[in-house]
Amino acid sequence: DAKTTQPTSMDCAEGRAANLPCNHSTISGNEYVYWYRQIHSQGPQYIIHGLKNNETNEMASLIITEDRKSSTLILPHATLRDTAVYYCIVRPLYNTDKLIFGTGTRLQVFP
Amino acid sequence: GAVVSQHPSRVICKSGTSVKIECRSLDFQATTMFWYRQFPKQSLMLMATSNEGSKATYEQGVEKDKFLINHASLTLSTLTVTSAHPEDSSFYICSALPHGTNEKLFFGSGTQLSVL
């Protein structure tokens, strides 16, 4: 079973920051938080992952609370091409375990 | 970044026929690959875990005789849907875990199967 909960859907204006929350209150000490997104009729795309420190890459920033029970994915300047379903997943880093997907958040970026 | 190639992207077949879907890791070796299925407006459901050189591990409720998985090399895994029926129509997605680093999974672009 998925270990995360996310809002079903969110809207964001183009050019504004999109902040996508995720709750993972039962996360274990060795589990990382991963974010993937899926654009319609494509395979999921890796965005970012982190353990406890905030992370940033060319796509997004990941903010993890100090107690690690929740996190927020930030797309700093959303574009129409960021419209997708965003999945937050917890998984041990060095482990061959599968990724279990929850229901995700459907982000709609509008002009 | 690592590339996972999945073919075909779309296939239409008659009921009762078998369909093979290929998943290749193009620039890395993958000891482990995963196969998912996705119905419209639903999340991805894991079907099976495929390890190179050994039998696949199927999730509960997935028929291993219907969904044959072969992982004969470190760069190729195949999923064969045998005796396909309309209810097998779905979006099938593979993913690969780079050998030696289990940091993140890379996904193929998916295969839309339509069984008439």
Predicted confidence (pLDDT) per residue in B19-46, tens digit: 999 999 998 888 889 999 999 989 999 9
Distance (Å, whole) CA B59 – CA B43: 16
Asked if residue B107 lies in contact with residue A43, where contact means CB atoms within 8 angstroms, the answer is: yes
Burial class of residue B30, CB neighbours in 10 A (0-12, 13-18, 19+): buried
Q: Which of A43, A95, A98 sits opposite B93 (nearest CB)?
A: A43
User: Above 60 in pLDDT, residue A34?
Assistant: yes
- Lowest-pLDDT range, A59-68, A84-93, B45-54, B95-104? B95-104
Q: ∠ CA(B74), CA(B99), CA(A95), 5° rounding?
A: 125
Q: Closest-CA residue in chain B for A42?
A: B109
> Residue B1: which pLDDT band, with cuts at 50, 70 and 90?
low
- pLDDT computed for residue A2 by the predictor: 59
